[in-house]
Chains A and B, each alone.
Chain A
Amino acid sequence: MTNVTIDPLTRIQGHFRLSTEVNENGVITDAQSSGMLFRGLERILVNRDPRDAARITQRVCGVCPTAHAITSANALEDLFGIADQIPKDALVTRNIMQSLNMIDSHATHTYALWLPDLVNPAYRDVFATADNMGTMLWRELLHRFAPLSYKIDGISIPPGQAYVNAIKEKRRLHGSIALIAGKMPHQMSTIFGGVTYKPTVADIGKLTYYHQQLMDFVDKYTLGIDHSTWLDNTYRASSPQRAVEFVTGHLQELTESSMSSNDFSYSAGWGDIDMLLAFGSETIGEDILGLPVSFKFDRTGTYSDPANIGFLSYGAYYDVENGDGYDPLKFGQNSFHKAAFITGSLEHKKFDHMKITEEVSHSFYTGEGDDHPFDGDTEPVRNADEIDYHGGSQSKYTWIKAPRYEGVPCEVGPIARMIAMQEPLTTGLMNTFSDNGHPAVNTYIRMVARVQEMLILLERLIQWVTSDLDPDGRFSVPIDMSMAKDSQGVGLWEGARGALGHWIKTGTDSKVSKYQMVVPTTWNASPRDSNGIPGPIEQALIGTKVSAAENMLGIDNSNPTGILHTSRAYDPCIACAVHTIDLRQKDGKGERVFDIV
């Protein structure tokens, strides 16, 4: 048994450590994921004016500040009792800002953070087994996805074309958010009661123009074909099977025309998603398309026990069809992203936020033990000697807590949302894996779901901009500060990385007495719970082969691509995930009763 530890995992937000045990067959048999930073941000909110929360909580994360601003505003609007009055056009404006931020985050993750994994030098050797085709493909991958300051064998590799262009599009997306939000990161216009800015007709024109430029990028680089054709045949396919047939048919055409020429360039029609779809999967690439080699990402990052995993989405995007207001507790039922809890056996269940719990048995906090993990105060470990990351899976080993839904660890993010909305391409590909005897959820489908969600949102976004937003509408309602006395509020939403919840309580002085955030990476990068059940990333690592393409060229513990691809595919954000205050939940019997320790 060999210990293989990644510390730090780069190309993510924050400080993240993955410690694994790898057996003589190159299979990961144990894993601990550790958040390495303690920040105490929720404590900072205590004793402050609750209205400040929508600004302060954004400082949790510079990648997804818009999601924190909106979630916080939702919690405050619940606290002030005005959620049912928020003007429709404020809600439309928030939808536009959130979708832009989600698209931006997905594009950044895909192009700048994850796709550079494809040019790990291990794949030069893997693809070399496919002779000339493999060599040409490797060159194309480097040409597209090489990151900044990259060297192989002492030779500098210039940053890839897709990488450089995507960063320019990211800038355009941030500019689009700033247009209606003041600035980005840390946007300014989302506020309790609505938004501070009234978008103008000129803003709608500019947003439409920015959108056209984004779609030019998508058509040219991401897809290689027109996005409407893509979405008509996947997102709007009559069945999951038809969506998969369209994609495999499209890839078959590309493959046939390129196998003789070995031309995998953009001009030969290979969009970035085509590269991922065809070469990323053994089932799609090798078994169905007959390619000689693949990355085999569909065999990594799988869950072995459906009883120990679920998929969770709180739902997001305001339903603006019915005019003003929203119900903070029925969030997501009629909205674009559905609220759902999906079991490890892919059974859909109704979501109830009262079933969320958190515990600290393996986190660097003091607190009561396993029997009643939600009783008792949670305090950070104060003795430096107790902060030790080498104690193994029985010890405390992270600053991230362990949230559970009905006691089950849950994966959140694009894959959970795409399953919740039963997106045809995602579910079709999952069925294809299952039908071929492989796990449906894996590293490959996580990445495909993220890109597909980005494409769907790009289309939805422009409807909010051009059809729903009325510059002559109302954009905010006043609040009554007296409502902040002894009150509470819950804000549920979806950030780019998944389910995001803020809970707030105020005292008799109308100041914040408790504030709690349960964020996407807290779910995904959770440690073990008191029953010893590992968190989602830990489960996904266990069973994954450590080296490139399923140890195709042998075991190389010094280049553990299996750990890197699997954990990065969750798009971890550690600054969000580390926090200090425990959520103590009373048995409310369906009522809105919660307490925050």
Chain B
Amino acid sequence: MGELENTDFLSMDRRTFLKVVGAMGASAFLGLHRSEISKALELSKTRVIWIHGAECTGCSESVLNGRDPDIFQAIQKLSVDIAYHEMLIQQQGIFVDGELASTSELNSEIMLDEAIEEGGYILVVEGAIANGPDGTGKYCMYGERTFKELFTKAASNATFVLAIGMCATYGGINSANSEIVDLMDFRGVAFLRRDPSKGMLTELGIDRPVINIAGCPSNPDWVLLTLAAVILGKIDINDPDPILDEFKRPLVFFPENVTLHWNCPRRGYYDIGQFDTEFSGDACLWKLGCKGPYTHSDCALRKWNGSVNMCTQAGSPCISCCEPGFFDNSTPFYKNVQTVAPSNSETDSSFPSNENNEDTITPAAIGLGATAGATVIGSAAYAARRIVQKDDNKKEMDQ
């Protein structure tokens, strides 16, 4: 146990991490560090400013579902001060004849400005940032200013930015292809889809360390454990990149070489080549369009809502909601991935397209290492069957 206190858990490899957290419960794990904080006492309250752009509040809802730690435990054990969160605070923006009225105890705009001016906080961003029309950002307004202006001010004074959910990280639903996508011009904090040059921070010329927590919504563990690691100094916030992938996602939750498919509860059916072709069955969902083999997340191990369930366990094909480029990457959701032509090829190079023939679903794509011999064999067996089933697939697609 003593060793654990010194363990940098986001640097641990996935297996060790799951073993540790699984065995102790994340709450106990975080609790261990509390004495550390109390002793040091250099960390007084960590202030968190949480702002909402173009979003659905699903990520806030999801974070409220966290347990071990839940949001209140996180606040107490980690000494977090939620300095601003529009859904949780008593205050609201109040203007009398155009002037800000009252004080920060009643007026959320004064509260927010005071918190930003104080500086030294973690900025949590939920939702995309509107840049349209014509770079004005007026498609999303908030308290007599554009959300773009608010983001600019809040990001400039933050020590660190945590983008949560697909909208804030990569644009999400707001940036999905449509006739008006360029007009709206929504941006993620540090990326637009897979492109870091179009992230809003780059657009604004602001240089701040960023961690992206993907997912639609983000799993509460991903958010709260990352916040905990930052607050406990387990991540060097000035240089978080060593524990992140190229899309700034923590590798421990979004492993580069492992996909959801590896630990899917239905994996056994894949290995023996049993596939559902209609919903509400028990077998592998791959022929129903499951994107699990292309999705780098620990959903299948961590699961959702207190580990009661997850998408493929509930019979629903994975829609790859934590890969940059979601939704265009993974739509149509219910078409077998090997026969899907991506709707925007620049956004989804990791996804197989028509040009990639069926053999794209190789062990490498599925994320199998050389050690997983048994499953490689299973996969090879399936590859042989696929050749036989190819015509059937085509018939389905032609429907």
Contact = CB atoms under 8 A, between A and B. Distances in A.
Contacts of A62: 55-62, 217
Given A182-B316, A560-B94, A564-B92, A167 B71 contact: yes
Contact of B65 (A152, A171, A480, A482): A171
A164 B130 CA distance: 34
Contact of B54 (A37, A120, A150, A564): A37
A324 to B, nearest CB: 14
B184 to A, nearest CB: 6
B29 to A, nearest CB: 20
Nearest to B332: A49
A174 interface: yes
A476 B72 contact: no
A197 B314 contact: yes
Give the interface size class of chain A: 35 or more
B94 A558 contact: yes
B70 A171 contact: yes
Nearest to A9: B92
B97 A2 contact: yes
Given A62-B57, A188-B311, A15 B280 contact: no
A182 B62 contact: no
A353 interface: no
A6 interface: yes
A14 B127 CA distance: 10
B2 interface: no
A380 B183 contact: yes
Interface residues of B, number: 90
Nearest to A34: B141
B313 to A, nearest CB: 7
B44 interface: no
B90 A116 contact: yes
A43 B62 contact: no
Given A4-B96, A37-B54, A44-B178, A178 B278 contact: no
A190 B142 CA distance: 34
Contacts, number: 297
B73 to A, nearest CB: 11
A382 B98 CA distance: 26
Interface string A25-62: 00000000000111111011010110110011001111
B134 interface: yes
A186 interface: yes
Nearest to B304: A183
Contacts of A159: 72
Contact of B62 (A8, A185, A191, A478): A185
A184 B304 contact: yes
Contacts of A389: 141
B129 to A, nearest CB: 11
Contacts of B98: 3, 5
28 contacts: A2-B97, A5-B94, A6-B94, A7-B144, A14-B57, A15-B52, A15-B147, A36-B142, A37-B141, A52-B327, A55-B333, A112-B88, A147-B90, A149-B83, A178-B306, A178-B308, A178-B309, A179-B308, A182-B304, A189-B316, A194-B280, A195-B315, A196-B314, A198-B315, A381-B133, A387-B139, A476-B280, A559-B94
Interface of B: 52, 54-62, 64-67, 70-72, 75, 81-83, 85-98, 101-102, 105-106, 108-109, 130, 133-134, 136, 138-144, 147, 172-174, 176-181, 183-184, 216-217, 278-280, 304-306, 308-316, 319, 321, 327, 331-335, 399
Interface of A: 2-15, 17, 36-41, 43-44, 46, 48-49, 51-52, 55-56, 59-63, 65, 90, 112-113, 116, 119-121, 146-154, 159, 164, 167-168, 170-171, 174-175, 177-186, 188-189, 191, 193-198, 380-384, 387, 389, 474-476, 478, 480-482, 557-560, 564, 575, 580
- Give the 7 A-B residue pairs with the shortest CB-CB distance, closest first: A62-B58, A182-B314, A196-B315, A178-B305, A188-B316, A558-B101, A183-B304
Given A5-B95, A387-B133, A558-B106, 7 more contacts: A7-B143, A8-B93, A62-B55, A148-B75, A191-B316, A558-B101, A559-B106
